[in-house]
Structure 1
Amino acid sequence: MPKASFPSRLSRRRALGLIAVTASGSALVPVQLFAQQTTPASGASLLMPEAGVCSITPETTEGPYYFDPALERAEITEGRKGVALTVQLQVVDEACVPIEGARVDLWHCDATGHYSGYPGQGDGRDVDTTGEKFLRGWQRTGRDGIVTFKTIYPGWYRGRTTHIHFKAFPSEGRAMTGQMFFPDDLSEHIFTAVAPYNQRSGERDTMNADDGILRRAGQGVQSAVREAAAAYEALMIIAVKRAA
């Protein structure tokens, strides 16, 4: 695998500023697009009401670490250490109309790259988390199509850039699987300056530009990360087709 191209070291001030990133990890877009506004048509709050933003979100691979732990909850950390992160997802249709009652599942690795519920975790593949359910949960969207999860900033593991997995079920039995990605500059700042992210013996080998799953997703996924009073906030809109 070619050596990953790492960003230059940022000052804390710049790394913690308002930033947004597309799925390709390249073009930055104004985070102000994610400000909640009310649309006359629906009367609902939208994260990104700009024209064209509600094109259907590209699906990505589910990955090897999904299971349904039957945990309907907003707080999913279960005591895992890391930088506090609030994830807000909004499920809408092609016309940017929020979808109420959609189920949204969220799961990701912890600060040291471990997923819950599986053996063979960690840089040495010698950590067994079978039976654990940390950093997993699901909720149903409200009238505004929004769900909010309290979690931690995800770590990394070999061969993948920093990401969070989700599944959106706009109707029973029908699922859309995707991933949300994070700015390399912010991730690198956290991974080098904050424990326990910076206490790993392994070396991060994949950035956004090197991640095959992210490249295949193309420009069709947009997410934003911003600093709030008590935690980072990651915001993303998930546009799906309504059931016939």
Structure 2
Amino acid sequence: MTDPRPSHLTRRTTLGALVAAPAGLALPARAQEAAPPTASGGMCLLPVEAVEGPFYFDPKLERSDVTEGRPGVPLELNLTVVDAATCAPLVGARVDLWHADAGGLYSGYPAQGGPGGVSTEGETFMRGSQTTGSDGSVTFRTVYPGWYRGRTPHIHVKALLNAREALTTQLYFPDALSEYVFEHVTAYGGRGGARDTVNATDGVLRSTAHGRTTFLNLREDTDRYVGTLTIAADRNAAPVVQRRGPPPPPGGRPDGPPPGGRMPEMMRRPDGPLVPGTKA
């Protein structure tokens, strides 16, 4: 197999068939330090609802590893679901996860990625479910999500109690880390241009109240990134009726702004070593 790493990198730890990823970054403090979702008065933060989007379906796959062997920077996702009113762990909640792969494609849908489109009908990569245990937590093994036109990188999460939706939201990443991954890891390249949307210009993120509370707390491990977050769900929330139309037409998606100009200064590549598993 051809090694897709830039030639100046040397391997410190084998990542199997996956490519090397960046780290050693000066991540924002919010992305480094986990904090419980508590607010004044002993109440948990309100659930941070976000649009479900057009690419959800239930593949009925209860599993931790959702990658199905697709390439990308390894990401371990540890989520804890608590009751929004009491902060107590929600036991027996089903947590659904889905997101785009390194190439910006969702499994299970046709006509993605531009004129002519790419079909992933019948596939189930980057999708799965877990049930929370006594501590309210679940763990998924996946990859850092890729970008697609009109959206900043994100992961969709849905929490269900007794088949009733308690929360639907989206999880986000620091812009600088995303840009570094996309620039240096082959699996995220070859897209015919740079991404057009960052966190500050993402229409969904901007419209989500308290959206910053759904940024993952990230740390580097030897061979992966580890993202953690505690999310509060309202067990008494009224059922949400989502009208799911057909996926957007080839060439883009309607939930973000048009392509921008120059990359903002905050997105410039940071200095430092590349990790996990590598050194400069």
Aligned length: 212
Q: 1:55 to 1:79 in 2, by over 3 A?
A: same
Percent identity reads 50
Instruction: Determine the structure 2 residue equivalent to 1:29.
Output: 30
Instruction: Determine the structure 1 residue equivalent to 2:228.
Output: 235
Q: 1:113 to 1:125 in 2, by over 3 A?
A: farther
Instruction: Determine the structure 1 residue equivalent to 2:254.
Output: none
1:215-230 aligned at under 5 Å gives the runs 215-220=206-211, 221-222=213-214, 223-230=216-223
- Structure with greater Cα Rg: 2
Match of 1:205 among 196, 200, 221: 196
Match of 2:125 among 117, 130, 134: 134
Instruction: Determine the structure 1 residue equivalent to 2:24.
Output: 16
In 2, Cα distance between the equivalents of 1:51 and 1:173?
A: 24
Instruction: Determine the structure 2 residue equivalent to 1:25.
Output: none
1:1-244 aligned at under 5 Å gives the runs 15-17=23-25, 19=27, 28-29=29-30, 31-32=32-33, 34=34, 48-49=35-36, 51-52=38-39, 54-94=44-84, 95-124=86-115, 126-220=117-211, 221-222=213-214, 223-243=216-236
- SS of 1:29 mapped into structure 2: helix
User: How many Å apart are 1:18 and its aligned residue?
Assistant: 6.7
- SS of 1:85 mapped into structure 2: strand
Query: CA-to-partner distance for each residue in 1:124-174, whole Å, 9 max, x for gaps?
Result: 351000000000000100111000000000000000001000100134323
Q: 5+ unaligned residues in a row in structure 1: which ranges?
A: 1-12, 21-27, 35-47
User: How many Å apart are 1:15 and its aligned residue?
Assistant: 4.6
User: How many Å apart are 1:49 and its aligned residue?
Assistant: 3.3
The TM-score, its normalising length taken from structure 2, stands at 0.70
Question: Which is richer in strand?
Answer: 1
* Cα RMSD (Å): 2.3
In 2, Cα distance between the equivalents of 1:61 and 1:239?
A: 16
Q: 1:189 to 1:156 in 2, by over 3 A?
A: same
In 1, Cα distance between the equivalents of 2:26 and 2:36?
A: 19
In 2, Cα distance between the equivalents of 1:159 and 1:132?
A: 23
Q: 5+ unaligned residues in a row in structure 2: which ranges?
A: 1-20, 238-280
- SS of 1:190 mapped into structure 2: helix
Larger deviation: 169-178 or 99-108?
169-178
In 1, Cα distance between the equivalents of 2:115 and 2:221?
A: 35
- SS of 1:189 mapped into structure 2: helix
Instruction: List structure 1 runs of 4+ shifted beyond 4 angstroms.
Output: none
